[in-house]
């Protein structure tokens, strides 16, 4: 795969993923008030709890999905077809075992469920929904290996088209069935059907992308199990940390405040999560690229690309998150209603943490590419434990605001110091050079958004059109400020590579 092909696939794939996620976010915004209205705050809160529990199942892959992707990407760059089929077949066997294990976990959750829900309608509904989504998770494990093929080939466009198809089908079915009066059980069935169809389409696409693909008992190499698990164990620990950082908050709130409060908090956490997903969509495709540089032992290029992609991540984070924080209160009012405005303060707290996490997210990508993610696993699990402890302590006194504070404090420490420090040491980059890059953006950004906040407060009208218009102005003006005052020469050089030749004279005049 040549450099131009790689760049084209990253840009086109990242663009399509961004479009897919943007559509998903827009539809989620439009559908959430509809779903809450038809289910009620209590039942929607239960749906959020079930979603959090199913999210715990994600750690059951023990990090094998990331290990599979990395090993396939490395073999692909070495042009070893036989090795790829060995990795795929061996991984498929491990994923099959995990599929069976996930079914056992679902049975265990069903057995424990009376401890968390009183006997009655809530318990019965929970048991039905968790069973359906547990089956969905078991099916998911059987198809995870095919995602590794798609990602290693940088064919994020395929994944995007499938996601858009699933989104359209799922949204249509949810709208129809909730309108007809069906409950969250219908949501679970719809999720099962659409996700299973998506898994099948991914498998078919993987075979087309990599035609030599063969999953066979003959290709299984038991010695590879240890290598995959050695790489994946740190990802597993990191995933446990993610659960403690984000998904445990819903259970804390449900335990100490109630299911209805889960719905209110989910508004803030979803807005922040959407931003994180959007940034991950735009920048997540760099893991196979960094892995290639590691395989080639190309340290100088690795350093250059780390600083370049970090600058892109900083710019995108500061373009999006502060704007959402400024328009958040007005948006929540017209989106969900006045009764949900209490989600705004948690949004501000979580948004500040999201800025620091987003600006430094490339550090995590580098650690995974260099197989040094054991460090990230350790600090992530510590961050998760700190979040759990602080949230339990603060929720009693400050409610959902306390939970948000408990989540933000550990994130600030880990994402602004521990991860950058280790990543820069690993790449032999002066930490001060990295902080200068951050500081330059933060100072200018603070001045810009302070001015925009004053302008917004003076001109805001509680209508979607007005809010979106002002947000668009903010993003456009920040783009101009960043281009002329913040972008490095290196970043401008790469931007120039993406501009069609007929527009280059105009671009040169601008810069």
Q: pLDDT tens digits for the chain (511 residues)?
A: 444 455 555 555 556 666 777 787 788 777 888 888 888 777 877 777 777 677 666 666 666 776 777 777 667 666 555 777 788 888 888 888 888 888 888 888 888 777 766 667 778 888 888 889 889 888 888 888 787 777 766 676 787 888 888 888 988 998 888 888 878 888 889 989 998 998 899 888 888 877 777 777 877 877 777 777 776 666 666 666 666 666 678 778 877 887 778 888 888 887 787 777 777 766 666 666 676 677 677 778 888 888 888 898 899 999 989 998 998 888 888 888 888 888 899 999 999 998 988 888 888 888 877 777 778 878 888 888 898 899 999 998 888 899 999 989 998 888 888 889 998 888 888 889 899 999 999 999 999 999 998 888 887 777 888 888 888 999 999 999 998 899 988 888 777 766 656 655 655 555 5
Q: Helix, strand or coil for residue 233?
A: helix
Same domain, 288 and 208: no
For residues 74 and 295, the answer to whether their CB atoms sit within 8 Å is yes
Contact 38, 175 (CB under 8 A): no
Is the CB of residue 63 less than 8 Å from the CB of residue 98? no
186 and 75 assigned to the same domain? yes
Q: Compute the residue count for the chain.
A: 511
**Structure tokens of 7?**
């760049």
Q: Are residues 212 and 235 both part of a single domain?
A: no
Q: What is the pTM of this model?
A: 0.69
For residue 279, give Cα distances in angstroms to 12, 29, 47, 360: 15, 18, 26, 11
Please give the structure tokens belonging to residue 100: 């069976």
Q: What are phi and psi of 491, to 5 degrees?
A: -65, -40
Asked if residue 26 and residue 171 are part of one domain, the reply reads: yes
CA 444 – CA 339 distance, rounded (Å): 36
Pick from 127, 180, 149: nearest CA to 69 = 149
Enclosing domain of residue 2: 1-220
Q: What is the DSSP letter of 418?
A: I
Dihedral angle at the C-alpha atoms of 437, 438, 439, 445, nearest 10 degrees?
110
Query: Which of 190, 220, 250 is at the close of a domain?
Result: 220
Same domain for 207 and 281, yes or no, is no
Which positions ≥6 away from 504 have C-beta within 8 Å? Answer: 496
Tokens of 78: 């070495």
Q: 221 φ, ψ to 5°? A: -120, 105
Report how many domains make up the chain.
2
Query: Of 197, 220, 243, at which residue does a domain stop?
Result: 220
Is 216 found in the same domain as 235? no
Q: Is residue 511 part of a domain?
A: no
Nearest CA among 365, 359, 376, 378 for reference residue 416: 359
Answer yes or no: do 156 and 260 share one domain.
no
Domain boundary residue, one of 185, 220, 255: 220
- Whether residues 239 and 201 share a domain: the answer is no
In a domain, 508, yes or no: no
202 and 268 part of one domain: no
236 and 126 both lie in a single domain: no
CA 394, distance to chain mean position in Å, is 26
- Please report whether residue 510 resides in a domain: no
Spatial distance between the Cα atoms of 365 and 59, rounded to a whole number of angstroms: 18
Q: Assess if residue 262 is contained within a domain.
A: yes
């Amino acid at each position: 795969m040549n450099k131009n092909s790689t760049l084209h696939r990253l840009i086109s794939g990242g663009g399509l993923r961004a479009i897919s996620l943007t559509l998903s976010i827009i539809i989620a915004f439009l559908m959430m008030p509809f779903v809450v209205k038809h289910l009620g705050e209590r039942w929607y809160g239960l749906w959020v709890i079930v979603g959090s529990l199913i999210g715990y199942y994600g750690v059951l892959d023990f990090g094998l999905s990331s290990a599979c992707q990395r090993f396939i990407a490395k073999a692909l760059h070495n042009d070893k077809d036989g090795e790829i089929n060995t990795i795929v077949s061996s991984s498929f066997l491990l994923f099959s075992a995990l599929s069976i294990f996930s079914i056992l976990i679902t049975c265990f959750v069903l057995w424990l469920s009376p401890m968390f829900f009183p006997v009655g309608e809530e318990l019965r509904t929970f048991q039905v929904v968790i069973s359906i989504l547990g089956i969905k998770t078991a099916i998911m494990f059987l198809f995870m290996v095919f995602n590794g093929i798609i990602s290693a080939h940088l064919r994020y466009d395929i994944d995007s088209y499938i996601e858009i198809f699933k989104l359209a089908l799922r949204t249509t079915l949810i709208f129809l069935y909730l309108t007809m009066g069906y409950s969250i059980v219908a949501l679970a069935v719809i999720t099962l059907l659409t996700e299973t169809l998506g898994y099948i389409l991914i498998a078919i696409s993987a075979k087309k992308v990599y035609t030599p693909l063969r999953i066979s008992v003959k290709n299984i190499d038991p010695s590879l199990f240890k290598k995959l698990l050695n790489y994946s164990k740190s990802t597993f620990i990191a995933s446990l940390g993610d659960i403690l950082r984000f998904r445990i908050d819903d259970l804390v709130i449900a335990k100490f405040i109630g299911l209805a409060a889960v719905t209110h908090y989910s508004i803030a956490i979803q807005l922040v999560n959407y931003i994180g997903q959007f940034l991950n969509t735009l920048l997540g495709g760099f893991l196979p690229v960094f892995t290639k540089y590691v395989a080639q032992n190309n340290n100088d290029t690795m350093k250059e690309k780390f600083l370049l992609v970090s600058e892109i991540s900083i710019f995108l984070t500061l373009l999006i998150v502060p704007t959402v924080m400024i328009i958040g209160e007005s948006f929540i009012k017209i989106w969900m209603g006045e009764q949900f405005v209490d989600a705004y303060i948690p949004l501000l707290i979580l948004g500040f943490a999201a800025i620091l996490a987003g600006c430094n997210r490339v550090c995590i990508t580098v650690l995974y590419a260099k197989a040094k993610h054991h460090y990230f696993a350790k600090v992530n699990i510590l961050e998760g434990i700190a979040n759990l402890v602080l949230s339990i302590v603060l929720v009693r006194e400050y409610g959902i605001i306390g939970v948000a504070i408990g989540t933000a404090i550990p994130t600030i420490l880990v994402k602004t110091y521990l991860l950058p420090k280790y990543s820069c040491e690993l790449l032999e980059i002066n930490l001060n050079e990295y902080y200068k890059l951050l500081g330059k953006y933060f100072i200018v950004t603070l001045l810009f958004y302070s001015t925009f906040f004053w302008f917004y407060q003076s001109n805001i009208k509680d209508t979607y059109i007005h809010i979106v218009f002002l947000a668009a102005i903010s993003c456009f003006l920040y783009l101009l400020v960043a281009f002329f005052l913040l972008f490095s020469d290196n970043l401008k050089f790469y931007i120039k590579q993406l501009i069609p030749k007929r527009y280059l004279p105009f671009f040169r005049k601008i810069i």
